[in-house]
Chains A and B, each alone.
Chain A
Amino acid sequence: MNTENYISKYCQIENNTVFVNGEKLFELKDVGFSEFIKNAYKEFEIEYPKFFKMDNLSKLAFVTSEIILKDVCEKDQENDIAIVFANQSSSLDTDVKYQNSIQDKENYFPSPAVFVYTLPNICVGEISIKHQLKSENAFFVFENFNTKFITNYANQLIKSRKAESVLCGWVEFYQEKYKSFVYLVSKDGLLFHNEKNINTLYNK
């Protein structure tokens, strides 16, 4: 389905590599995710101390989004950018960590700082706070990236004038297995916003 919306910028992070608009811009092999994402954060000159308190899913979603938004969001003015994210494992990576903190009654230490990240939409909140995006947002869970759903949902937000543009993405993280693919849908850009183009980019 062709629409008059476009994909104006996209970013992918997987296998310790960052691709921006299809171009490999950063790679750091043979390190774990924490080390990799910290270095990606530095490489793209992101300055945001709250980043270091985030869980892995939020770090992944935040850095991928930040690479797109840092040049798009206008400072000191409202940016009507909706956020629509999805993944497979929800917040399971942090859920397991939290469960381990309450499993053993001899060693019981539930922490609110961990518990708050046992919801997948927290990463959307983190990105909204960074850019003061008081905008439409939703988090969905699917077995696989549901291109048809996300494409239609984003188009409907723009069509119904609930958002000017939409930051869409698949942000999956579970125990070092991760993949993020985030793209900005707006009125102008590189590629038509349709299922075919998104599938092509996602599978690259």
Chain B
Amino acid sequence: MGRYILRRLLQLIPVFIGTTFIIYSLVWAIPGNPFAGMCGPRGCPPAFIEQMTQEYNLDKPLPVQYVLYLGQLFSGNFGQTFNGIEVSTLIQNAYPVTLKLATIALVFEAVIGIAAGILTALRGKGFVDNLVLAATLFLIAVPVFVSGFVIQVVFGVQLEWIQPSVGSDPTIGQLIAPGLVLGSLSMAYIARLTRTAMFENKRADYIRTATAKGLKPRRVVSVHMLRNSLIPVITFIGTDFGALMGGAIVTEGVFNIHGIGGLVFDAIKTQEGVTVTGVVTLLVVVYLLMNLLVDILYAALDPRIRYD
């Protein structure tokens, strides 16, 4: 097991380097002058350009710049923005909010999605199944910015059940509606995934064996069917966490949540390359670590997976 984890960890290194390098080169290799349009219509003062060039080694070839940047990053230095604010401070303020939001979304999608999937599988083809299928179809079809908008206006502005604009330092309660919006698409996927896996396993030979042993239907379902069906679902939930954090940008925009999505979005608009690369690198790390966790979990849940 230890060796398996180590091997997976080693495999992640080239992926980490590749992904962050792409982002780095995209941000800094913007065609033309990286400072064009950065400091407003009058252009950047030459002193600033010189300082940045030196700090980020912009006069060296791109790969060298990247390696030097990574070195800085690993020693905990995320750099400074144009205004001299530490990027690490910005990230420290924004990260917990997005983390909270993504966790709420994850809990919602897992609980509701799995419950709906199990329900349809148990009831069999019929009204409930069709209802859940139609609901998931709808959730998949409505883009997050539309559903976020509608919920904001209906529940926030007209009914005043929720706060339409969350602002900085939100409570868990304020993040519930945005979390539901963020998790809605994955919720639909999880419901369908659970349903499909349950339907497939329902006909499996070992379910017939369990029934033939005279076990109560509840035990057959909760022990024999569920465990096997949840393996793909848990895999999905794990990899989805990274996607939720990176995908929160739209939801955060709609509900005015000051998370990393907004941070990156503003940074891209003002061409704050340092902020963009810092945040995206952190997101990539989260994504890769969640993938590693899923691999380990998978091996733990399915004894047929070999560690070699």
User: Do the two chains bind?
Assistant: no
Interface, chain A (partner B; CB < 8 A): none
Interface, chain B (partner A; CB < 8 A): none
